[in-house]
Amino acid sequence: MTGDQELLDQVWLNLLYNSIKFTPSGGMIRISLGIRGAEIIVSIQDNGIGISEKDQIHIFERFFKSDKPRNRAAEGSGLGLSIVKKIVEMHDGRIEVESELRKGTIFTVHLPEAVE
């Protein structure tokens, strides 16, 4: 695909750092890449603390952090995912989240194969 490599690096790093931050040690993080039709699909999956359905609606908003007590220690501004979403949309893509509390989270980024 064509895109801004530095901006897209921020997407991969933010998603990966979140997976690491919200997964207790000994957990699993899986990164997968694929092409489906004209779409490039990148998914980053963890088996960490997960995100409640109620919070999933808000995680892409600026400054949102789930305020579950067990998250309080985790540092961060709550800006990462809002930036990730902006960058993905600048590339005519979209980002989806699937998550279950205490089970884990999958973020999936869909990008068009070529952006003119």
Among 3, 8, 11, 22, binds ligand ADP (CB under 6 A): 22
Q: Does 46 bind ligand ADP (CB under 6 A)?
A: yes
The minimum distance between CB 65 and Mg ion, in angstroms, equals 9
Cα(111)–Cα(46) distance, integer angstroms? 21
The closest residue (CB) to ligand ADP is 76
The dihedrals phi and psi of 112, each to the nearest 5 degrees, come to -70, 145
**Closer residue to ligand ADP in complex, CB, 3/23:** 23
- As a whole number of angstroms, the distance between CA 96 and CA 2 comes to 21
Single out the residue of 32, 53, 54 nearest to residue 42, CA to CA.
32
One of 11, 18, 42, 84 touching Mg ion (CB under 5 A) = 18
**Residue 111, class by beta-carbon neighbours within 10 Å (0-12 exposed, 13-18 middle, 19+ buried)?**
buried
Residue 76 is a binding residue for ligand ADP (CB under 6 A): yes
Among 3, 8, 11, 18, binds ligand ADP (CB under 6 A): 18
